[in-house]
Chain A
Amino acid sequence: SAVISQKPSRDICQRGTSLTIQCQVDSQVTMMFWYRQQPGQSLTLIATANQGSEATYESGFVIDKFPISRPNLTFSTLTVSNMSPEDSSIYLCSGQGTAYNEQFFGPGTRLTVL
C-alpha cells in the first residue's frame, strides 16, 4: 500500500484568492487523482494528474479553475483559483497502484472560503 500526505490539512481563505494543495506519495504509483468532497456528500473526481503532461479533467471541472501539476511519480499539486464560498470543501488526493484499481487516499485538505 501507499502512504499519502497532503498539506495544508486545512485553510481558511478569502474570496478571490488561490490556494495550492500539495500531495506526496511515499512510493511510486501509477495514477494520481484529485477529488472534491462537499459537506455530507460523496467523492467527486476532479481530474487525473498525469506525470509530465496536462491533467485529464472530468466534466464540470476546468484547468483554469483547478490547475494541476504532477512533475514526477510521487508528487502532485492542485490549485483552487479565484475562490468563492462554493469552493469550500474537502479536497482529497489519491494514488492508485498497479493492481485491481485500488486507491489510497490522503487525509484531505479542508478548505473554507469566506
Chain B
Amino acid sequence: AQSVTQLGSHVSVSEGALVLLRCNYSSSVPPYLFWYVQYPNQGLQLLLKYTTGATLVKGINGFEAEFKKSETSFHLTKPSAHMSDAAEYFCAVSPYSGGYQKVTFGTGTKLQVIP
C-alpha cells in the first residue's frame, strides 16, 4: 500500500521568497515520486519526477525536489517565487515495479504568491 501526505493545504509566500511545499510518502517498496502543478481551469502538468539515481531532481520553471529515503520525504522547492507560480501542486507516488502500478495523489497544496 502507498500513501502521500502533503502538509499544508494552503501556503503563502512573498514574491521573491523561497517556496517550500512538503510531501511525505509511505510505500512498502521503493517508490517513483512525482510533483504535478495545476493552474486554474487547467489539467495537471508534470513538474518533475524521481525514479532512480540522483536524489536531487530538477524540473521545469525552476523547481526542484529532493528524495530523502530516511525521512520518506520529497519536498518541492524553488529559490525565488514568481507570481506565475500561483497554482495548486500535487505530490504523487507509485511503486517502483515493472509494468503498470497505480499512482496515488496527495490532497494538494494551493500556493499563493503575494506581490
Contacts and interface: CB of A to CB of B under 8 A. Distances in A.
A105 B38 CA distance: 10
Contacts of A108: 41-43
Given A101-B101, A101-B103, A103-B103, A43 B90 contact: yes
Interface stretch (B11-19, B20-28, B44-52, B68-76): B44-52
A42 interface: yes
Contacts, number: 49
B44 A102 contact: no
A105 B106 contact: no
A42 B90 contact: yes
B44 A92 contact: yes
B7 to A, nearest CB: 14
A104 B46 contact: yes
Given A30-B100, A41-B107, A42-B105, A101 B43 contact: no
A43 B103 CA distance: 11
B100 A100 contact: no
A106 B46 CA distance: 12
Nearest to A31: B100
B34 interface: yes
The 6 closest A-B pairs by CB, nearest first: A105-B43, A101-B94, A105-B44, A107-B43, A42-B107, A43-B105
24 contacts: A4-B43, A6-B43, A30-B100, A41-B107, A42-B105, A43-B44, A92-B44, A96-B103, A99-B51, A100-B32, A100-B51, A100-B94, A101-B94, A101-B100, A101-B103, A102-B32, A102-B49, A103-B46, A104-B46, A105-B45, A106-B43, A107-B42, A108-B43, A110-B41
